[in-house]
Structure 1
Amino acid sequence: MAFLTKEQLAALQIERMIFHVVGPDKDKFLLLEEIALGPHAEFFLDRVRSTNTGILFDFTPASSLLGALQEIQADLHRFSQKSKDLAQLFQIGHGGSTSHGVFMLFVLKHGEERLFALLKYDHETVLSYAIESTKLGQQAQIAALQDTFVKSPEALQKSAIVRLAANGGELCVRDRSAPAKVTQYFQQFLGASRRFETSQLTLKLVAIAKKVAKKNENLLSPAVLKNLNQRIYESIQTITAYGPDSHDLFLASIFGPLTDDSKVRIDFEHELRHERIEGETFDFDKQSVPRPTKKQIVTQEGIQIIWDREYDAYVKREDIAGGRTRITIESGGVKIEDDFTEPNSR
């Protein structure tokens, strides 16, 4: 399931909010006081909601962020001071590599559950204009505005939604500068480790693809089912990374084009949610899915042929009249020719 459900996202409210100015210029580092957002709350809630499709992390016991949020959870009066402590840690940890912007901390609620969110929002220069009457007619006067909040996804550089628990807590994290990994210095600031390694995620995706194919055998074409393992292997080897943006590419490479209401697609997305990896973005660990060492042919009559890939050249197929297939095996001789006993036969 997702970090937050659609219903929880819709019910999300900002209980407390504060931001501090950060950036490469230490002289411009500025700690501010808490503000009330009033009618602008929805703007920032939308930025927080966009993080819900991020990567899952878990706090490490020594996390400074975890300790600060636990103190705020215990006493909301500590919110402002703890946010300043975290902003200083963020500034020190990122140093000259961070761009000019703000570090934001939110206390959120939906129903009875309290959550936290952190955003690193970059300032972008925006041009504004005002219409003035002149001797020549109506003219636009253009001015540059800086230190602005804009809706552009590029402005939201780093973000995390945090849920505390008795044993620490979990985070849903997005990092625009390293979507598939999360930059090392942001991960260090969070004091958290990724829940799933890329090898685990790759193998989970392979298992889901096979499970969905088996479940929908009656809907898939013979061409897909005939070489499913090969299709999966080649997809992993040729596609660099997987994530919500490359979801359709991965599905099409295995199952062919699918409609939005395809049962194959619906089942695949259901399995992703069940494994809690629907928001994960990661580079495929190609080594975890090696090329199969054996190949098989199963005929319509149930005749099964299995061989090592090194002998591919010795197994040949040709189409013959009546839509039938002739399979020829070239060998140095027959080693066994006997009745075959099924493993579970009595």
Structure 2
Amino acid sequence: MSLISVEQLDKIVIERMIFHVVGPEDANLVLLEEIDPGSHASFFLDRIRSSCNGIMFDFLSASPVLASLRRVESDSSRFSSETKDLAALFNGLHSGAASVGVFLVFMLLVDGNRFYAIIKYDHEEVLSYTIQEEEDVRRALIAALQSTFVRSPDALQKAAIIRLTDVGGELSIRDRVSPGKVTKYFQGFLGVRRRFQPDQLTSSLSEIAKKTARRHAADLGSAVMGQLNRRVYDAIQAQPGFDPANREPFLAAVFGPLPEDSPIRKTFDRELRNSRIENEVFEFDKAAVPRPRRKHLVTDEGIEVIYDRQYDDRIRREPNVGGGERIVIETGGVRVEDDYAEPRTRLR
């Protein structure tokens, strides 16, 4: 799910903005004052828009970020001081492998609703800033070119789009270092827990695949529909996980090759959105979709055979010379041999 819908992306307005310099060492921390993005607002809005399709998280009650943003909501004059405290906290959690960059905090307005964005951006090249001393405070002035902000997606290390609620808050998070999980230290800094766990996501994806196939049974044919449960099971067992931006391996494993304009793709994507997992990147919990306990055979003549897999060795299938096959069942005895009661026709 996206906190900010595709239709709302062009309606995002930056109300307030501040950034601080962070890095792996305490000496890297430089706390700055609030700035106006001015003519560079579109650059930052593009970065914010690119961060809106992240993994869903919810704040824990003890989250320091939640507490800080609550204080800003109650008293907007605390915006600068609260972000300085958050930058110091973030800097203290940095590991030695972290790169020097900037810690940005935005107050946003979208269709009359308040959002916040927290972004860690690496130092590189495109926009630069200078720090100016003004009456005992330091203020950042942004200039074009040189080195700091870049348009490259690789420079945007971590991002959280945040909406506060009456009971806490929800976040859409992207983490370039760990796109399928989000690094523990970023989760720890934000004080959040993932909304959907891998077992839930794996089970939901399995049901979405089956629902999509049943809706397009005529297009997929017996080759897919006759082995649908097995195809879904095998896809989940064989693949490490699912990424909506690279869903082709999963789609091909379940449905076979699909043209780009296939209605099956559209149904699958719509079902992902309906389940609010269209942006969820996750590793499969293979135990969440166990191998079906029973096997179901239906012959061309309409003869059905249903049996537990523990009796696989009691079923022999032998091809006939002229086509078709012979199915032999070895059993200790027949328990039921009765006429089959057909469903009654409804009286009109």
Using structure 2 for the length normalisation, give the TM-score. 0.88
In structure 1, the partner of 2:214 is 214
Q: What is the rounded CA distance, in whole Å, between the counterparts of 1:320 and 1:5 in structure 2?
A: 58
Displacement of 1:341: 4.4
Checking the alignment, whether the CA contact within 8 Å between 1:52 and 1:279 is kept in structure 2 is no
**Does residue 1:69 correspond to 2:102, yes or no?**
no
Q: What is the rounded CA distance, in whole Å, between the counterparts of 1:310 and 1:223 in structure 2?
A: 25
In structure 2, the partner of 1:275 is 275
AA at the equivalent of 1:65: V
In structure 1, the partner of 2:5 is 5
**Does residue 1:110 correspond to 2:105, yes or no?**
no
With 202-211 and 34-43 compared, the bigger mean Cα shift is at 34-43
Displacement of 1:315: 2.3
Gaps of 5+ in 2: 127-144
Displacement of 1:53: 1.7
Q: What is the rounded CA distance, in whole Å, between the counterparts of 1:267 and 1:187 in structure 2?
A: 33
- Pairing of 1:57-136 with structure 2 (within 5 A): 57-124=57-124
Checking the alignment, whether the CA contact within 8 Å between 1:294 and 1:306 is kept in structure 2 is yes
Q: What is the rounded CA distance, in whole Å, between the counterparts of 1:185 and 1:56 in structure 2?
A: 17
Checking the alignment, whether the CA contact within 8 Å between 1:101 and 1:147 is kept in structure 2 is no
With 112-121 and 317-326 compared, the bigger mean Cα shift is at 317-326
AA at the equivalent of 2:59: F
Q: What is the rounded CA distance, in whole Å, between the counterparts of 1:345 and 1:187 in structure 2?
A: 59
In structure 2, the partner of 1:205 is 205
Q: What is the rounded CA distance, in whole Å, between the counterparts of 1:119 and 1:343 in structure 2?
A: 62
Query: Following TM superposition, where does structure 1 have runs of at least 4 consecutive aligned residues deviating by more than 6 angstroms?
Result: 342-346
Displacement of 1:23: 0.5
In structure 1, the partner of 2:287 is 287
Q: What is the rounded CA distance, in whole Å, between the counterparts of 1:325 and 1:246 in structure 2?
A: 40
With 171-180 and 306-315 compared, the bigger mean Cα shift is at 306-315
**Does residue 1:304 correspond to 2:308, yes or no?**
no
- Pairing of 1:17-28 with structure 2 (within 5 A): 17-28=17-28
With 285-294 and 198-207 compared, the bigger mean Cα shift is at 285-294
In structure 2, the partner of 1:327 is 327
Checking the alignment, whether the CA contact within 8 Å between 2:2 and 2:172 is kept in structure 1 is no
Displacement of 1:155: 0.9
Using structure 1 for the length normalisation, give the TM-score. 0.88
In structure 2, the partner of 1:157 is 157
- Pairing of 1:164-203 with structure 2 (within 5 A): 164-203=164-203
Displacement of 1:294: 1.5
Count of matched residue pairs = 328
- Pairing of 1:235-246 with structure 2 (within 5 A): 235-246=235-246
Q: What is the rounded CA distance, in whole Å, between the counterparts of 1:239 and 1:224 in structure 2?
A: 19
Checking the alignment, whether the CA contact within 8 Å between 2:2 and 2:54 is kept in structure 1 is no
Q: What is the rounded CA distance, in whole Å, between the counterparts of 1:15 and 1:177 in structure 2?
A: 29
